[in-house]
Amino acid sequence: MCFQFLREKSTVYSAADPFAVSEYVNEHVGSHDLRLQKRGDTSTAGLAHRKFGGIDLCRLSYGRQARVVSEGLGDIYHLQFILQGHCEYVMRKESHSFSAGQLLVINPDDPIDLTYSDDCEKFIVRLPTSILQESCLENRWLRPLDGIRFAPIPYRFQELESLLYLLTLICQEAEGGMISPQLLGHYNRVIASKLMTMLQHNVSLEAPSLTTMSFERLEQYIEANIKQDISVEELAKQARMSTRSLYLLFEKHVKTTPKNYIRQKKLEAVYRSLMDPACRIANITAVALDYGFTHLGRFSESYREAFGLLPSESLKERHARLG
């Protein structure tokens, strides 16, 4: 099989310094640290890049044996199609080999430790988590509370032929440059749906049952009233079921109690407010009270347990982004 992923017109670097290419990748594709294994010619790397709606398309080679490390990709997935050469992926002290004709999927929070051969060339699809989440909502698939995770196994190109043809078409569309925002969004959704139906992951694609539909309605109700004091009795009334049935519903879908789920959603809303430079806030106390956290000590501790940092540290990070 021969697939054309980005042509010369998309070239950003050719016979370039690998670190110059790495700097561009850090800005547009994913944060990482490049380490070259051996000294040699400094003009060996090449890169082609196109943005396509919310997705980035990138064809990359360092031309040298190179190691790439990162603590994680944040809120994006990487689909790395190995076109030539091979690479070693070390994850949680286990080494996995990927060679030409195979796909490696890297989840957002997975630490990255990849070593590429000097002849390795890869095609990367950078996919934000939001596109997959929207696909799950659109198709009524049951998404786990802790996020969508793909199995880190080698997928062979022979198993992904329709996906590869789709990506070839998308590369052509991206290079054509004459495409409407509506069609871009459509293509993005098609890619997400294709990935969810072809790759192995932790999402249930079964048709939603009545209880699933009830839970989705409760999710929407909680989101719409996130600043209110939502009681278990009120939720049971909304779902038209007993309190006991409500607890069983939450245990089935999110493995926690309604109260814990609501608190987590409120914490996530506070986190987004503190981290978003576009969101106007007076101070941390005002935001916490706005979402119903009246005991500030317990709020700070719950926040730290949920996100690994204190609310004040989130605010400092927000200010740092604003420069």
- pLDDT for 277 equals 73
Mean pLDDT of the chain, nearest integer: 88
With a threshold of 0.75, does the pTM exceed it?
A: no
- What distance in Å separates the CA atoms of residue 32 and residue 60, rounded to the nearest whole number? 14
- What distance in Å separates the CA atoms of residue 14 and residue 128, rounded to the nearest whole number? 27
pLDDT beyond 70 at 96:
yes
**What does the pLDDT look like over 256-305, one tens digit per residue?**
999 999 999 999 999 888 887 777 787 889 999 999 998 988 999 999 99
- 220 CB contacts (<8 Å, ≥6 apart)? none
- What distance in Å separates the CA atoms of residue 187 and residue 237, rounded to the nearest whole number? 40
CA distances from residue 183 to 131, 186, 189, 234, 309 in whole angstroms, order as listed: 15, 5, 10, 41, 40
- pLDDT for 93 equals 79
**What does the pLDDT look like over 45-60, one tens digit per residue?**
999 999 999 999 999 9
Residue whose C-alpha is closest to residue 53's, from 159, 180, 172: 180
Domains of the chain are 8-198 (2.60.120.10), 210-322 (1.10.10.60)
- For residue 133, name the pLDDT band (cuts at 50, 70, 90): confident
